[in-house]
A and B are shown apart, each in its own frame.
Chain A
Amino acid sequence: MRRIMAVLYKEFLQIRRDRMTLGLIFMLPLVQLLLFGFAIQTEVKHISTVVFDQSLSADSRDLLESFSASGYFDVTMAVNSYDEVTRMIDSGKAKVGIVFPPDFSENVRRGTSAAVQVFVDASDSMVSNQAIAVANFIGMIKSQEILTSKLRVGAAPYDIRVRPWYNPDGVTAYYMVPAICGILVTLSMVMLTSMGIVRERERGTLEQLMVTPIKPYELMLGKTLPYIVLGYIQITVALLVGVLVFHVPIKGSILELYILTLFFITASLGLGILVSNIAKTQMQAMQLAYFIFLPSILLSGFMFPRDGMPKLIYYIGNLIPLTYYLDIIRGIVLKGIGFSYLIGQVISLLVFSVVFLTISTLKFKKKIA
């Protein structure tokens, strides 16, 4: 016990003096979150839109209003010919063009279908898909409205609205922020612990440690416990940024989240120690950490939904601790579910932790050769 405390204290002294690592601990969550949160906005809003209104009626203005009000289209330009619409889109000044035919208003009033043409610049698939979807959607709601008003019913009989279930406004930052917490912990825990141990080997301090009576598990515990604290600091910073900058609402219990996070941190630490057993230099440790980090990003469901993955890839994803932690953190933050729904995930993480830590402690020998 005293030996563990001695290593712990030594680690804290070293971390405190290591500006680089400390900076990393705080900056990593900030930078990553802001990067992911803002830059990889998968939702496209404010698409520049040009309009060619040949009808110039109250009805066309009404529909146009709906387009603007959706927030997806910025109707800022009006032109007077098809040619101009095409030119605007080709030159990139507009991404979407809306054309009302001259008989638009008459058709609406007569109750025959009133066609509105929507041109979309398809060179950016993200924008075009979204524009088409939203345009269709608006068209649908509008026709419904018109239909009901024709029937002289006071209010719409039903309100068609597609509601993404857990994320009503489709704000991806909501979905990303909790996941990024997981990514951060993976990256920093694996990297910091493995490099921390390999550094001792590289600098020769391990040789001096080996002649002392310290036991492998004591050394491992003492060296990794401080990183648990760092992991929690990172999660806290990340969640704070999520709440303050991206207004992510935390639906579930924070306490529960923090408790369950421990299992993920230990699993990641275990992985880090495992890496330190293989890597000879800090450089190698870093590369190995990235080697683990990449599949974690790609296969855990962080970037792409796992349901659509090929079977084999899906199963490989099952071997990644982050997969389970994403369920936990997204579940608690976004859905507000509790421990009882997450037992499976917690057990999986526990198994990872025990396996990784046991293997590495057994593999660690107080020998040079």
Chain B
Amino acid sequence: MIKITELSKAFGSIGAVHEINLEIKKQEIIGIVGPDGAGKTTLLRMVCGLITPDHGQVLVMGKAPDRMEEEKDKLGYMPQRFSLYGDLTVSENINFFGSLYSLDKKTIQDRADEILGLTNLIAFKNRLADNLSGGMKQKLSLTCALVTRPDILVLDEPTYGVDPESRKEFWKILYRLNKEGKTILLSTPYMDEAELCMKVAFMDNGRIVSVDSPANMREKFSYTVLELKSSIKNSHVLRDIPGVIDAYFYGDSYHIVTPKDRDNLQFIEAALNERNIEVFKLEEIAPSIEDVFVSLAEKEVV
């Protein structure tokens, strides 16, 4: 559906996107995951034809996106920032964007009702968009992006700043849309959301460092992760232990990354005791996708 080749874009001296190659197949849910400033938005905007690339090209269903004036309804885009009119109501917003695609009133109405039903927004039809909660705003944006029944959805951090409950709901909707045949390209700063995508492209410093399914990524991860609960204040002491590749704070505990081929648990435990570090709990865990990303990001930096 989308083919990106050698795509680059720089703003002045800041290179936002570097020679990215990526192919997105029909009915895939692909997540671009990366920290702030990684270049996700720039990449997605180029896919939508909003930014002219310096090099390389994007083909959306075989066409350059800024040449598909008449097929614009095939691609639904939801920008990172809330981009609807706060002083219009939910249904006025939908009607407005619908009529920009030359849909007639009846069609817009039917589709709006359908999607609003799907997103549980139907009760808020006549509320001003400004008065919606963060999660509802994102759902409204999605609704507007869906009003043309596009084949491809490009969503830029659609769940940013949304509470966990609404995020779950939002993802349910995405899965449903995907089942109906939509291809979804989205970006997210949340690692746990990567797990929910069929394919993940990890982006850092303008480059795509790795693309694969989350399961494969974890599979390929060639290290052991130990979870440590302790009273220490930061991870520096852990990093100084020989044989520790990386250590970082994770939720309420520390993750220690070590090579696979050693009897790490005992070795590390001994090292911790030697350093008088209190150990409440130390055990081997299955690496999460986040562990994979952390290590990918570190490699990139080094």
Closest CB in chain A relative to B109 CB, distance in Å:
14
Q: Which of A194-219 contact B (CB under 8 A)?
A: 203-205, 207-214
Q: Tell me if A2 is interfacial: C-beta within 8 Å of chain B.
A: yes
Q: Tell me if B274 is interfacial: C-beta within 8 Å of chain A.
A: no
List residues of chain A with CB within 8 A of the CB of B84. Answer: 205, 208
List residues of chain A with CB within 8 A of the CB of B70. Answer: 213
Size of B's binding interface in residues, CB under 8 A = 33
Q: Are A211 and B51 in contact (CB under 8 A)?
A: no
Among A17, A18, A203, A207, contact of B50 (Cβ-Cβ < 8 Å) = A207
Q: Tell me if B43 is interfacial: C-beta within 8 Å of chain A.
A: no
List residues of chain B with CB within 8 A of the CB of A203. Answer: 83, 86
> With A2-B99, A367-B52, A368-B50 in contact, do A14 and B77 touch (Cβ < 8 Å)?
no
User: In the bound complex, what is the Cα–Cα distance between A3 and B112 (angstroms)?
Assistant: 18
Q: Tell me if A13 is interfacial: C-beta within 8 Å of chain B.
A: yes
Q: Are B73 and A204 in contact (CB under 8 A)?
A: no
> With A211-B48, A367-B51 in contact, do A205 and B102 touch (Cβ < 8 Å)?
no
Q: Tell me if B82 is interfacial: C-beta within 8 Å of chain A.
A: yes
Q: Are A208 and B52 in contact (CB under 8 A)?
A: no
Q: Tell me if A10 is interfacial: C-beta within 8 Å of chain B.
A: yes
List residues of chain A with CB within 8 A of the CB of B75. Answer: 211
> With A203-B83, A213-B72, A367-B52 in contact, do A208 and B77 touch (Cβ < 8 Å)?
yes
User: In the bound complex, what is the Cα–Cα distance between A204 and B75 (angstroms)?
Assistant: 19
> With A204-B79, A205-B83, A207-B50 in contact, do A212 and B88 touch (Cβ < 8 Å)?
no
Q: Tell me if A312 is interfacial: C-beta within 8 Å of chain B.
A: no
Q: Are A10 and B96 in contact (CB under 8 A)?
A: yes
User: In the bound complex, what is the Cα–Cα distance between A239 and B72 (angstroms)?
Assistant: 47
> With A204-B83, A368-B45 in contact, do A14 and B88 touch (Cβ < 8 Å)?
yes
Closest CB in chain A relative to B107 CB, distance in Å:
13
Cβ contacts B72-104/A at 8 Å (1 or 0 each):
110101010111111110001001110111100
Among B82, B100, B144, contact of A213 (Cβ-Cβ < 8 Å) = B100
List residues of chain A with CB within 8 A of the CB of B52. Answer: 367, 369
Q: Tell me if B11 is interfacial: C-beta within 8 Å of chain A.
A: yes
Q: Are A17 and B87 in contact (CB under 8 A)?
A: yes
Q: Are B87 and A6 in contact (CB under 8 A)?
A: no
A-contacting residues of B (Cβ < 8 Å)?
Answer: 9, 11, 45, 48-52, 66, 69-70, 72-73, 75, 77, 79, 81-88, 92, 95-97, 99-102, 144
Closest CB in chain A relative to B75 CB, distance in Å:
7
Closest CB in chain A relative to B153 CB, distance in Å:
12
Closest CB in chain A relative to B39 CB, distance in Å:
13
Q: Are B85 and A214 in contact (CB under 8 A)?
A: no
Among B48, B50, B77, B100, contact of A6 (Cβ-Cβ < 8 Å) = B100
**Chain A binding surface SS class:** helix
User: In the bound complex, what is the Cα–Cα distance between A204 and B99 (angstroms)?
Assistant: 19
User: In the bound complex, what is the Cα–Cα distance between A279 and B102 (angstroms)?
Assistant: 31
Size of A's binding interface in residues, CB under 8 A = 26
List residues of chain B with CB within 8 A of the CB of A212. Answer: 72, 97, 100-101
Instruction: Please name the 6 residue pairs, one residue from A and one from B, whose CB atoms are nearest each other, closest first.
Output: A6-B99, A208-B83, A204-B81, A212-B100, A204-B83, A211-B77
Q: Are A2 and B102 in contact (CB under 8 A)?
A: yes
User: In the bound complex, what is the Cα–Cα distance between A18 and B81 (angstroms)?
Assistant: 22
Q: Are B51 and A368 in contact (CB under 8 A)?
A: yes
Closest CB in chain A relative to B83 CB, distance in Å:
4
- The chain A residue with its CB closest to the CB of B75 is A211
Of B9, B49, B81, B85, which is in contact with the most chain A CB atoms at under 10 Å from its CB? B85
Q: Are A3 and B87 in contact (CB under 8 A)?
A: no
- The chain B residue with its CB closest to the CB of A218 is B100
> With A14-B87, A367-B50 in contact, do A213 and B79 touch (Cβ < 8 Å)?
no
- The chain B residue with its CB closest to the CB of A15 is B87
Q: Are A3 and B83 in contact (CB under 8 A)?
A: no
- The chain B residue with its CB closest to the CB of A16 is B87
Q: Are B92 and A13 in contact (CB under 8 A)?
A: yes
Closest CB in chain A relative to B67 CB, distance in Å:
12
